[in-house]
Chains A and B, each alone.
Chain A
Amino acid sequence: MSKLIISPNPHIHSKDSTQSLMRDVVIALAPAVLCSFVFYGWREILVMAVSVASCVLLEWAITKYMLKKPSTVGDLSAVITGILLALNVPYTTPWWVIVIGSVVAIGVAKMTFGGLGQNIWNPALVGRVFLLVSFPTYMTTWSQPQGLFGADAVTGATPLGAIQEGLMQGATVQDIMAEHGYNYGQMLFANLGGSAGEVCALALLIGFVYLCVRRVIKPWITLSIFVTVALVSLVFWGINPARFTDPVFNLLTGGLILGACFMATDYVTSPMSAWGGVIFGVGIGLLTVLIRYFGSYPEGVSFAILIMNSVVPLINMGFKQKKFGRK
C-alpha cells in the first residue's frame, strides 16, 4: 500500500460490463451461425466473414479518423451487428452488397447517431431493409440449403414468398402448402430456404434460452411477440384458413424467431421496463402479421421491429416503474 484510494460508494462492481453482455449475445448466436455454416456451406462462411469484418473495420475507422475518439470496437457490439446482418441476407448475396449493408448499418444507423446506445433503430435491421429496398433481386433470390459441400444452389421461394405468390394466383393456402410439401418439423430444425438465420429455428431458441438464463435479457419482449403473432394469426386463420396461414406457420417462418429473440431484444432500441417491453412486443407481433397478410412484402418482421423502435421513447415515457412509497 502506498496511497489510499478515496472514492464514494459503492466500492465494488458486478461482473457485468458492456463487453461481457455483448460476448454473451455472440455466444447465444453461435448455434445459429454454426447451423447456417452447415446448411449453406463455405459461401455462408464468406458472407459472415465479410459482414463482421466490414462492420468492425468501419466502426474502428469512423471512431479513429472521423470522430478522433478512442475506438469502441472492443465492446463487441459491431461484431453482433455484423453477425445479425449476415444472418439476415441470403448466402448468395455478393460481397459488395454486404459491404454496402454494413456501411448503412454501422455508418448511418449507428455511428451517425453517436455510436452504441444512441441509435434509434436496430443497425443490422436498417442495413437489411436498405438492401431489401435497393437490391431486391439479390435479397429475394433465396436458395435451397445445399450443405457444407453441396452442389450448385437450386433457386426457390421462401415459404412466405411462395404463399403470397400462390394466393395472388388464386390458390388456397392448403394447396400451396401441399404443393411445396412444407412441414413444421423441417421448419423447426432446418428451414426450406431464406435468410441464413432462418435456417434453424431450434438453434435460435437455444440462444434465446441462454440469454435469459444468463439474465442478459428478460424474456417478456420475445414472448409477447410470439403470443401476439400466434393469437392474431389464430383469429384470421380461424375466419378463413384458405386465405390466411396458420399460427404455427407464422411462428416458424420468415425470420420471426431471429427477430424476436435477437433484434427486438436489442437493449438500445427496446423499452426499459418490463411492461413497456410487453407493449413493444405486442406491437411488433401485430404489425408482423398484418404486413404478412395484407402488405405488399411477403415478410414483415424487419419493418415491424423498425416501426416499433421508433416509438420506444414514447413507450418509455408511458411505462415507468412504480416509485417506492409514491402513488
Chain B
Amino acid sequence: MNKNTFAIGGVHPHDNKISRECAIQPLPLAPTVYISVAQHIGAPSVPCVAVGDKVKVGQVIAQPGGFVSAFIHSSVSGTVKSIGPRADLAGRPATHIEIAVEGDEWAEGIDTSDTLVTTIPDDAKAIIEKIRLGGVVGLGGATFPTHVKLSPPPGSKCERVIINGCECEPYLTSDFRTLLEKGEQVVVGAALLKKAMGDVPCTIAIEENKPEAIAHIREVIAKLGYKGIEVMVMKMMYPQGGEKQLIDAVMHRQVGSGALPISVGAVVQNVATALAVYDAVQKNKPIVDNSVTVTGECFPRQANLLVRVGTPLRYIIDYLGGVPEEAAKVISGGPMMGRAVANLDAATVKGTGALLFLTEKQTRRAPESNCIRCGKCADACPMGLEPFLLNKLARAKDWDAMEQNAAQDCIECGCCLYSCPAHIPLLDNIRIGKGAVMGNIRARAAAAKAAAEAAKAAETAKK
C-alpha cells in the first residue's frame, strides 16, 4: 500500500523486458544518413548547409525555426548529398538532410573522451544555453525542446526536478541500460538540471522492476557526493512514466487540465535526456546518437544499440539479421504508446527509443462486441475519465459534450482500449473527438484574443 505510484487508474501489462541483459553496443555507421529537420515538437529547424558541403560529426546543420524549436547537428562526417522531402516513420513527407558518410571526424571542441566531468558550472543561464546549443530535446517520447522546459514563464517557480527512469512501457530497456552503464553521467546530468532550476531538490524515479539500476544509482550518488539528489523507488504501474502521473506519484500534486507541470512546481526530464544534458554541458557534445532497444519475442537478436541520428531503420534491422518472417507490426517505441512504422526506409530521429517487432497473434485486435458496462476502462484511465462515455459521444460527434467530459485531458496512454474486454476501439474514437475538442478550444482562444485586440484598437482610435 505504501508504494509510490499515481492516484488514479493504471494497468499492469506484462513487462516483457527480454532485452534487459543486452548491453548498449555502438551500431556501425550506415553508408548514408537522413536527418529530419522536424524531429522535435515545435517549429521545424531551418537547414544551414548546402548540397555538396562537407560536414563533421556534431556540426550544426539546421538552426531553430522559432522559439520552440531546436538545433540539429550532423550525426556523421561526410558530404551533404541532398536536402528535400522524404517519408518519415509514419510515411508522411518531411524535409531531410541526406549525408553520405565519409570516415568519422568530429567537430572542434567536442570532448569525445570517457573522462567523467563532475564539476557543476555556477551559472544556471550558461547551463541552459549549452543545452540549447546541444540541440537537446526530451527523449522520453515527446521531444519537447529541453531549454524551453527549463525556462519557466515569469511568475512560476520550480520546486523539484524529477528524472524519469520509470520506463513503464513493456519491452523497453534502453533507459534501464543507460542507468546501469552511464549512471555517473546521468547523475551529473541530474545535478546540472537541478542547478539550472535554481538548486531545487531532485528525485530520480525508478520502477521496482529495475533493482540493479536502483542500487547502482544510489551508489553513484553516494560516490559523487551531490546533495539533494535522491532515488525514489516506484511501484510497477503503467503509465507511471507519463509526466502528469509521475508528478502525482512523486510530489502528490496534480497538474490541472491544460496546465504545464511547472504550475505545480515540477520539471520532469527523462533519463536519456539527463545523459544528453551531461554530454551537451560537460563535453560540448550535442545529440548525435541515442540508445535504441531492438526487441520482440519474434525478433531473433535482442539488442540495445547506440545509433546515430538519421540511420535508416532497415540498416539497423539488417545489421541484426533482418525482419523476422512472423513479424506483422514494427513499432517505434513501446507497445502501449509507440507508433506503428509504415516505412522501414525511414530514418531514426532523436526521440527513437525502440524498435519493437510483434507477431500478428500478439497485436491483432479481436472483433468488437457490445459494451458490457463493466467499467474496466474507467478503472484503468489514469486521468479519471470515462472512456465508455467519451467513446459514445465521439461516435455521435457530440464535441461539446466531449469537452464537458474532459476528452481534452486524455493522454492517449491506451489503458482503456488495453483493458476493454469487448475490444471496443475506445482510444481510436476518443482520439478523433479529442482532436475536434482541442480545435474548438484553440478556435475559442484565438477568437477571444482577436476580440480583445479589436476592443483595444477601438479604444485607441477613440483617443
Contact = CB atoms under 8 A, between A and B. Distances in A.
Interface of A: 1, 4-14, 16-18, 20-21, 72, 75, 77, 114-118, 267-268, 272-273, 320-326
Contacts of B381: 321
B414 interface: yes
Nearest to B331: A11
Contact of A75 (B331, B369, B414): B369
6 contacts: A8-B428, A11-B329, A13-B365, A13-B418, A18-B422, A321-B384
A312 B254 CA distance: 30
B313 to A, nearest CB: 11
Contacts, number: 155
Given A9-B340, A18-B369, 13 more contacts: A7-B329, A9-B338, A10-B427, A12-B336, A13-B366, A14-B419, A114-B370, A268-B373, A272-B378, A320-B386, A321-B386, A323-B384, A326-B406
A21 B374 contact: yes
B341 A4 contact: yes
A268 B372 contact: yes
Contacts of A75: 369
Interface residues of B, dominant DSSP? loop
A324 B246 CA distance: 13
B256 interface: yes
Given A9-B412, A12-B362, A324 B421 contact: no
Interface string B400-427: 0000001001001011011101110001
B256 A17 contact: no
Given A14-B11, A321-B8, A116 B372 contact: yes
Contacts of A115: 370
B376 A16 contact: yes
A322 B385 CA distance: 8
Given A1-B327, A7-B365, A323-B385, A267 B257 contact: no
A324 to B, nearest CB: 4
Interface in B358-380: 358, 360, 362-366, 369-376, 378
A16 B257 CA distance: 31
B326 interface: yes
Contact of B337 (A1, A7, A9, A272): A9
A72 B372 CA distance: 13
B335 interface: yes
A273 B427 CA distance: 20
Contact of A5 (B338, B360, B419): B360
Given A9-B339, A11-B331, A12-B363, A117 B372 contact: yes
Nearest to A6: B340
Given A75-B369, A272-B375, A13 B417 contact: yes
Nearest to A77: B372
Nearest to B259: A325
Interface of B: 7-8, 11, 13, 170, 244, 248, 254-257, 259, 323-331, 335-342, 344, 356, 358, 360, 362-366, 369-376, 378, 381-386, 388, 406, 409, 412, 414-415, 417-419, 421-423, 427-428, 431
- Which of B327, B381, B384, B415 has its CB near the most chain A CB atoms (within 10 A)? B384
A114 B18 CA distance: 45
Contacts of A326: 256-257, 384, 406, 409
B320 to A, nearest CB: 14
A9 B406 contact: no
A16 B419 contact: yes
Given A10-B414, A272-B378, A4 B330 contact: yes
B53 to A, nearest CB: 35
Contacts of A13: 365-366, 417-418, 423
A20 B419 CA distance: 13
Contacts of B419: 14, 16
B328 A72 contact: no
Given A9-B412, A13-B417, A4 B378 contact: no
A1 B383 contact: no
Nearest to B327: A1
Contacts of B336: 9-12
**Which of B336, B342, B415, B421 gathers the greatest number of chain A CB atoms within 10 Å?**
B421
A285 B326 CA distance: 55
A117 B388 CA distance: 12
Contacts of A321: 8, 378, 381, 384-386
B459 to A, nearest CB: 35
Given A9-B337, A325-B254, A4 B328 contact: yes
Contacts of A7: 329, 340, 363, 365
A11 B414 CA distance: 9
A5 B248 contact: no
Among A13, A20, A272: residue with most chain B CB under 10 A: A13
B379 to A, nearest CB: 8
Contacts of B370: 18, 72, 114-118
Given A4-B329, A4-B341, A117-B373, A11 B378 contact: no
A324 B372 contact: no
Contact of B384 (A6, A18, A267, A324): A324
Given A4-B340, A10-B414, A17-B423, A322 B373 contact: no
A1 B328 contact: yes
Nearest to B7: A324
A63 B326 CA distance: 37
A325 B328 contact: no
B418 A12 contact: yes
Nearest to B298: A1
A24 to B, nearest CB: 11
A1 B324 contact: yes
A24 B378 CA distance: 21
A11 B364 CA distance: 8
B259 to A, nearest CB: 7
Contacts of B378: 272-273, 321
A81 B364 CA distance: 31
A321 B10 CA distance: 14
A270 to B, nearest CB: 8
A232 B337 CA distance: 50
B241 to A, nearest CB: 14
Contacts of A16: 376, 419, 421
B89 to A, nearest CB: 11
